[in-house]
Amino acid sequence: MLSIPLLACLLLTATAADGAVAHPRALRSTSPTCAATTVTVQKPPVTVQKPPVTVQKPAVTVQKPAVTVTVQKSPVTVRLPPVTVTSKVTVRLTEQYNPVAATTRTTSAGPGHQQPTSVTSPRAGTSSAAVVVRPSSTVAAGSSQTSGVTANGYRNVLYFTNWGIYGADYQPQQLPASQITHVLYSFADIASDGTVISSDTYADLQKHYTTDSWNDQGNNAYGCVKQLYLLKKKNRQLKVLLSIGGWTYSTKFAPIAATAAGRQRFASSAVTLVKDWGFDGIDIDWEYPTDTTEAANFVLLLQACRQALDQYAAQYAPGYHFIISVASAAGPANYKYMDFTGMDRYVDMWNLMAYDYAGSWDTTSGHQANIYPNPSNPTATKFNTDQAVRDYISKGLSSKKIMMGLPLYGRSFEATNGIGQSYSGVGSGSSGTAGVWLYKDLPRSGAQELYDNTAKASYSYDSSTKELISYDNVGSAVTKAGYLKQKGLGGAVFWEASGDRNGTKSLVGTLATQLGALDSTPNLLSYPNSQYANIKAGMPGN
């Protein structure tokens, strides 16, 4: 008797600028093996009754390529190896995955394949799809199956700073939680040995709000950390990421990323804060790797973080995918060294800092967040968002991973005759930083709002004081929403929460409305080994 089972399996594990200057402020999958062939012949020979039957050993050729696939919240194409068969066999595509929200896995029939076209799993685990190869057919290289977690909406991402609770008096309870999908809580500091640490323990963990008791038993988290957890409980689509670095702390990245010990300490300590504070991932804001060596070390740092987050999830949050995002430059000089392909294996969101294209460092006034260049006024548009988006996509990034940055502030130029003209001074501003005005304070009294239709950029100008301020308003935000949808981008990201208005003039709200259905993949509320009793218990009674 002759039995020839052929198993070809692909193990798919889901583990998934600023312009010229810095701002003040994966799913990962690998398929390591593919295919095994077993031929078993039993003796003595089988006796066949009339009529005689001759059984020939069919030729089966299976190649075993190494396949690496990056999976985001949108379908990806998994390339199958060449498989030639001369008898009917069953090829099984086995997927081990951690669904974020959607649990329907889609397998598209390719050449020589029959149905099924989809497999649905009710929970995290392993699902198998039988793909039947027709007799005498060839599954050629280039045939494909499609697998992945389908994104169910756009991301509307908002940076929230721990220092904003002071001068700006912007508290976490003021976040427009129903209109956003992710909060990037900024910034964690980095110790000299690579340990990720709180930059302000009072703001993060100690500040008592009016609803906080002074009589709780045990070690409890208060401050912004507690309030963010409570927002997550009430808004299950809201994911909170710990943003590490920023301009102030960015010089600390290079030395710790240069050694395996530093990278490991960074990753493990970042995970410790994530699980202690009840967060959903990390955002890394390194501004910026200055050469190819630092860029390569950035990839290794991301790899260490991805592994540490996945290891924690496997033990304490099975089936949950912790997010990794990076703040990424929009100025070519600042992203020219980036290893996009290497980084993208571990990055879920690229938060494109599409602002600060012009400011106090320039010799002329200019647009700080324009979409396109204006050839007739080149000094006003030294950088542009469209070039960065096209460059990122040309490097192989999925457009769905790119979040388009919008500023919630404006940059001013004094004593100027208009956009792209010389100026003298930048003024005091309203944010505590010279020349920087919060969007909610704009336009200033006496100023007229103008729009550069070529560059797709708004600004205000006061002809009497000769003050020009470049910033986004509702009109330009609507245009940007249309642009990112047309480009197939994943959503928007704003710097930073305290600058926005309330009501119909909110830019965050404008994007939420314009984008339509927002990503509703659920956050995580279970942190069984948090050091804080109230987070470990899930904030009972709140």
Q: Which of 228, 325, 147 is nearest to 535 (CA)?
A: 228
The per-residue pLDDT for 437 is 99
For residues 70 and 345, is the Cβ–Cβ distance under 8 A? Answer: yes
CA distances from 425 to 84, 196, 227, 428 (A): 72, 38, 40, 9
For residues 353 and 389, is the Cβ–Cβ distance under 8 A? Answer: no
For residues 110 and 132, is the Cβ–Cβ distance under 8 A? Answer: no
Three-state DSSP at 344 gives: helix
CA distances from 503 to 38, 447, 510 (A): 66, 22, 9
Give the position of tokens 């963010």. Answer: 228
Which phi and psi angles does 462 have, rounded to 5°? -110, 110
Angle formed at CA 468 by CA 404 and CA 20, multiple of 5 degrees: 45
Residue 10 and residue 131: Cα distance in Å, rounded? 12
For residues 368 and 378, is the Cβ–Cβ distance under 8 A? Answer: no
Q: Could you give the residue range(s) of every CATH 3.20.20.80 domain in the chain? A: 155-407+472-515
**DSSP character string of 438-502:** EGGG-SPTT-EEEEETTTTEEEEEETTTTEEEE---HHHHHHHHHHHHHTT--EEEEE-GGGPPS
Find the DSSP H helices in 83-208: 201
The per-residue pLDDT for 542 is 84
Cβ-proximal residues to 161 (8 Å cutoff; 6+ apart), any chain: 25, 186, 187, 496, 497, 498
DSSP 203: I
H/E element holding 308? helix 292-316
User: Tell me, which fold does domain 155-407+472-515 have in CATH?
Assistant: TIM Barrel (3.20.20)
202-216 as b/e: b if 16+ CB within 10 A: ebbbebeeeeeeeee
Catalytic residues: 287
Residue 131 and residue 441: Cα distance in Å, rounded? 60
Q: Which of 175, 288, 292 is nearest to 228 (CA)?
A: 175
The per-residue pLDDT for 62 is 32
The per-residue pLDDT for 541 is 82
For residues 105 and 118, is the Cβ–Cβ distance under 8 A? Answer: yes
pLDDT, tens digit, for every residue of 181-201?
999 999 999 999 999 999 999
Three-state DSSP at 321 gives: coil
Three-state DSSP at 369 gives: coil
For residues 74 and 27, is the Cβ–Cβ distance under 8 A? Answer: no
Residues in the chain where the model's pLDDT stays below 50: 1-151
